[in-house]
Structure 1
């Protein structure tokens, strides 16, 4: 029987530990992922660096959008206080006492007054050169308190049976305006332009025997003639 060697400083009496092979020093890979061909090259590094300007641009653009929203949310200026006047002429036509053509639909002044209670001023007039005038202009307007300008526009244009009134430029006093074309009972031509804002509402009607050109600029001129600021 061989002799048992005593445990010394260089010998351990515990169980023998199996020798482990040396571990690789490269990057560890997750199971299931393909092994890379080597370390990250210059192209991949440059690609990652190239993402930085795009990220910065996105952040700056987002900041600009927020600033735009803040500027757009500024309160709307209060409309200027105005009153209405009846000028002696409109577009070179004098104020006339000639009755309107029979059967012409109208939104009458007393209806306008009820829509803007309490009314502070009104206008209702006809402009032309008598029955032989090539053109007649009819205006009706009221100043006061207009609680629902959108609904007011619908009511102002309804009597003229305009199939498709369109929004047009409303002028320096704001609000909303619409114009459209129609026909009279005697087969004449008409263009009706109505406008409304929280303080003033009215309608201008152009009457001719022949087809009319665009009247948007004429409408704006007349509105400026009818409305005056107060104070």
Structure 2
């Protein structure tokens, strides 16, 4: 008959969790990582950060990097922040990837004037300029799919779009263009809509429903 206490059985069945790993085991695991993965691990928690700093793994890996400064690698100590050297190395690698990597740049003329703003999502690009027109482009073939005109004196302050509509802040007015329909205009009430208003918040509030008040009736219209 097994007289082992239930608490002991329960303790034996518990799986090993990360905080219970020995420092030496963690050091062995960390030694298989490259320098940037090790940096990411160092910000997971304080205990990992302390283990990595004390083991000087970052120091050793930095000295092995082909683009590390030889003079600096000879004199690195933890009195001087190593993160500055790592940041410089990351910036050099990023620059090298942009210069030497294969990058294709496509360019086309979208407006008669300088483009003020641009949004990209769902494979579509929406641009707006001082010519009082917003244009929706396909990111695959760069063809103009639709254009939205706001031919008045008010400037286009900000805009955003989703699969069914385009919302623009024109002056102090909110304009909603249905992708396949008419435009709705919501005038400012005591300066409610200002230049500092975030269009992403407007999209979230108008996607659900828009309330209109003709006379005493209240209608809730689906913004889609």
Instruction: Identify whether the pair has TM-score above 0.5, normalized to the shorter chain.
Output: no
Q: TM-score, normalised by structure 1?
A: 0.21
Q: Which has the larger radius of gyration?
A: 1
Where relative contact order (Cα < 8 A, 6+ residues apart) is larger, the structure is 1
Q: TM-score, normalised by structure 2?
A: 0.21
